[in-house]
Amino acid sequence: MPELRKDPIIGRWVIIATERARRPDQFSGHIHDPEEAKACPFCEGKEAKTPSEIYAIRPRNPTRNGPGWDLRVVPSISPFLRVEGDLDRRGNGVYDVMNGVGAHEVVIETNQHIANMADLSEEQITRVLNCYSDRIADLEKDMRLKYVLVFKNYGKGSGGGAIRHTRSQLIATPVNPKRVKEELAGARQYYEYHERCVFCDLIKQELEQKERVILDFDGFVAVSPFAARFPFETWILPKKHGKRLIKIIIGISRLCHA
C-alpha cells in the first residue's frame, strides 16, 4: 500500500511507493574495461587533458599539473557557473537576471582508474572528504557566493558520462537554492513553535526508536529519512548541534544539520 509521508522540516508531502522500490542489485552495472582506462583524461599522466588544477595533493611531485599526485581538483570542462565577473543583478520587466557567477569544480578522487568510490581505501576517502572541506573553506572567502553543493553521479543515466573514473563535482552558487531556503525557514519555524532544534529532536527520536538508524557512530548518525524522496536516500547528521547549515550530497547520501 503506498503511503503519503510529510517531511517534518519543510512540510513537503512525499508519496512512498513501496512496491516499486528498487533492490540494491538493480543499481550495479559496472564492467571493467581496460580500453576505457587508456582513454580516461582523469588518470595519472593525462594531466594535460584537463584544465589547470586548482588544488592537489602531491606527495611525489610538487610540479603543478604534472604526475605524482593522489588527488586533483580542476575546473569543470563544461561549467554551469564561472568564477570570473560580477553578479550584475538587473531587472527586465517582471524578470530578474544575474550573471552565472560561481564555481564548478571536479574532484578527481584518485590517480588510478577506479569506477566506484566504495572501492577506494579508507585513507583515500578521508582525503576526498578533507578536500571538500578545504575547497568549501576557500570558496567561502568569496563574498559573492552563498551556497556550496558537492555531488556525485554514478552509473548509467545519472549524468556520470562514459568515463568511469571516480570523481565528485562541487558547485558554488551566488544564491541559496529554493529547497535550502525552505529547509532553513522550516527549521526556524519549528524552533519558534517548540523552542527546540528540529534536527536535534529528529536525532533523539531516531536513536530511541532505532527503526531507521543505519549507523550510529562517533559524532554522527546515519538515518533513512522518514519521508525519503528516492530509494536509499540517507542522511548523515552530526549529533552535536551547530549554528551553520551544512549539507553535502554525495550520490544518495547527505550530511545536514542546522
**CB contact burial 193-217 (16+ within 10 A = b; e otherwise):** eeeebbbeebbeebeeeeeeeeeee
Instruction: Please tell me whether residue 164 binds Zn ion under the rule CB under 5 A.
Output: no
**Rule CB under 5 A: is residue 49 a binding residue for Zn ion?**
no
For residue 38, CA distances in Å to 71, 120, 171, 215 come to 19, 20, 28, 38
- Under the criterion CB under 5 A, does residue 199 sit at the interface with Zn ion? yes
* 165 sits near Zn ion (criterion: CB under 5 A): yes
Q: How far is the CB of 112 from Zn ion (least distance, A)?
A: 7
Alpha carbon distance 54, 69 (integer Å)? 13
In the bound complex, what is the minimum distance in angstroms from residue 178's beta carbon to Zn ion? 23
235 binds Zn ion (CB under 5 A): no
**190 in contact with Zn ion (CB under 5 A):** no
Interaction between residue 43 and Zn ion (CB under 5 A) = yes
Of 215, 244, 196, nearest in space to 8 by CA: 196
Q: Select the span of 10-18, 34-42, 133-141, 227-235 touching Zn ion (CB under 5 A).
A: 34-42
Pick the piece of the chain touching Zn ion (CB under 5 A) from 73-81, 108-116, 132-140, 214-222. 108-116
From 52-60, 125-133, 190-198, 219-227, span contacting Zn ion (CB under 5 A) = 190-198
Residue 139, amino acid: L
User: CA distances (Å), 155 to each of 27, 115, 138, 165, 175, in order?
Assistant: 8, 9, 30, 11, 29
Closest contact distance (angstroms) between CB of 190 and Zn ion is: 10
Q: Smallest gap, in angstroms, from Cβ of residue 165 to Zn ion?
A: 3
List interacting residues with Zn ion (CB under 5 A).
Answer: 40, 42-43, 113, 165, 197, 199-200, 241
